[in-house]
Structure 1
Amino acid sequence: MRRLIKPTVYLLAATSVLVLLAAVWYFQLFTRLGLHWAAWQHAEARQQDSLWLPGYRVVQQARPIEGVADVSALTWDAERRILLAVTNKPAAVLELSRYGALLRQIPLTGISDPEAIEYLSPGRFIISDERSQTLVKVRIDASTQALDVRDAPRLALGIGLNGNKGFEGLAYDPARQKLFVAKERDPMRVYAVQGFPPPDSGVAQLSIREMTELNQALVVRDLSSLHFDSRTQHLLAVSDESRLVLEIDLDGTLLGSLSLLPGQHGLKRGVPQAEGMTMDEQGVLYLVSEPNLFYRFVPQGAED
């Protein structure tokens, strides 16, 4: 009997170790511990010169956006003070309230796989076609009833084309007229694009470069959305697979993180598949998750 017990004990011990290692890998526990340590070590300084994501709390979570599915991307229209997202089944631009209510859908033609949308200035936006890695300049305002972008200004980048792992995120720095483009994975990269969209008059020189220092700071498995914060000059990046939002400066310093796991920042359940993220001028962070869930986070000390 004793001879049977030992192999069983060894098997249980080995199984427990494998389960522990799988949990460490799946939840990136060492990465998360490193982020928590860095946040604690530099808390006083970074609360002053960053958005301080560790202090954010969720005030609205997992609200279904009625009547839509497969929602992707999110951007803040600073002029009309609404949110815009895209969906590709069917292709459409969605307009949402600050609280996740669907205001209207705008049918979209001329793009086969819309995946990201970014506000540039009043009425001007960029939409990305993920599979073809094409950026398209569009105009959207309160009078827009439908979007046909077949003849719209566009830029085909075609960097490492590999099907459904293309351009997942866009962010825009209005002061420098610089567009940040995120490639989801294989390889995961952020690029800076200047000279597109072209100005309404004149010609701009096109420049595309890889953000090498910033890319080295991306301690996540994939990228699903970006946001550039003009106040701090920092970039936010969200990872669906890693369940994390990161704040990074343009020199590649990792400044803070927001976990999308259950129990973190007031989340009752984890965010299942984060696909879009943006902020408004008050620092309120909005996030959407497939299939159609809406979240709102507020900074430390802010009222709901």
Structure 2
Amino acid sequence: MRIHLTLKHLLLSILLLVLLLLGLLAQEYRLFGRAWFNVQQWQHAAKWQEGSIWLSDYQVEIEAKPIAGLDDDVSALTFDPDRNSLFTVTNDKPQLIELSLEGEILRRIELKGFGDAEAVEYISPGLYVITDERRQRLIKVRVDDTTTALHADQAQQLSLSIGLNGNKGFEGLAYDSAGQRLFVAKERDPLRIYEIHGFPQRDPQQPFAVHVVDDHQRDAGLFVRDLSSLQFDERTGHLLALSDESRLVLELNVDGQPISSLSLLGGRNGLKRSVPQGEGIAMDDQGTLYLVSEPNLFYRFRKSETEAAD
């Protein structure tokens, strides 16, 4: 009888331990928050879909196309509406790379003194911002048809040094041209999206003044493990956030609330295989989504013609 009770207590203890570990694992991977979001997305689909990007309607049309001619991993992505092309950066051998909308290299620009270049964002014709992740620098650069190299020491810079944490620094950029806000994503530990006002400085005749906005409530509602890239949609005022570890793209409305998502898992949104390591996302002026992933893979997602027409 005593042996039976001891065995029963042991089995109960093991069961409780397993449940505790499963709970911790679910919390680590934000499974509770993600499940609750899926329920809300289903309940409010008709309401949230109106006036949104609605990522659920996107399907992949170019999947895991190798970017030919690169032996270094790309990071980040931005769309240049003036050139109708994309820009990305490499960080081991720092370069600014221009890509076609088909994922082919158009040109390379050497980056000198940029440290760990991790993100690039189009601001206005010929004007971009590049991040140095480890040192948390934002570097304003100008690019034209003749540019072959960029020197960080010759460019305007802003160092923030917010929560310095090695290579878990500034991973993504997005720009709101109407509001003149630069969104900066800190990868994790802690995960943050900062809004920078006053950089890059548009009018050199005006005093240089920078204001940083930190929305803890919005960031706490992001049920993803990390942030790899951002994209601001001028048409809706919504922000897209890419998470590599969660294999997910989230659409955040003007209040910072997640309202739609694009899964990067195999079998979802037309993908045959999961996106291995999403590093950059961009959207063109037609609403087409572009994504780059290590090791140098290019993706393009588009809404079906029926959905786009609606």
Q: Calculate the TM-score normalised by the size of structure 2.
A: 0.88
- Identical residues among aligned pairs (%): 53
Could you say which residue in structure 2 is the equivalent of 1:173?
A: 176
**1:111 matched residue in structure 2:** 114
CA–CA distance in 2 between the matches of 1:260 and 1:25? 20
Matched, 1:57 2:54: no
The residue number in structure 2 matching 1:130 is: 133
Whole-Å separation in 1 of the counterparts to 2:103 and 2:74:
12
**Which residue of structure 2 lines up, in the alignment, with residue 274 of structure 1?**
278
The total of aligned residue pairs comes to 296
C-alpha deviations, 1:1-38, integer Å up to 9, x for none? Answer: xx9xx99xx7xx97997997798567654444323222
RMSD: 2.4
- Residues 131-280 of structure 1 aligned to structure 2 (within 5 Å): 131-203=134-206, 204-280=208-284
Q: Give 3-state SS (helix, strand or coil) of 2:213's partner.
A: strand
1:152–1:57 CA distance, 2 compared to 1 (3 A): same
* 2:80 is equivalent to residue 77 of structure 1: yes
- Alignment partner for residue 50 of structure 2, among 44, 48, 51? 48
Letter in 1 for 2:85: I
Per the normalisation by structure 1, the TM-score is 0.90
Q: How many angstroms does 1:212 deviate by?
A: 2.6
For 2:105 and 2:234, locate their aligned partners in 1 and report how far apart those are by CA, in whole Å. Answer: 27
In the other structure, the counterpart of 1:299 is: 303
Unpaired runs of 5+ in structure 1? none
Contact 2:227 2:244 in 1 (8 A): yes
Partners of 1:21 and 1:249 lie apart in 2 by: 30
The one-letter code sitting in structure 1 at the alignment partner of 2:297 is L
Classify the secondary structure of the residue corresponding to 1:45: helix
Q: In the TM superposition, what is the alpha-carbon distance from 1:47 to its structure 2 partner?
A: 1.8
Distance 1:106 1:302 in 2: 38
Pair 1:92 & 2:92 matched: no
Q: What is the CA-CA distance between 1:252 and the residue it aligns to?
A: 2.3
Unaligned runs of 5+ in 2: none
SS state at 1:160 partner: coil
Partner of 2:294: 290
Other structure's SS at 2:173 match: strand
Indicate the SS of the match to 1:49: coil
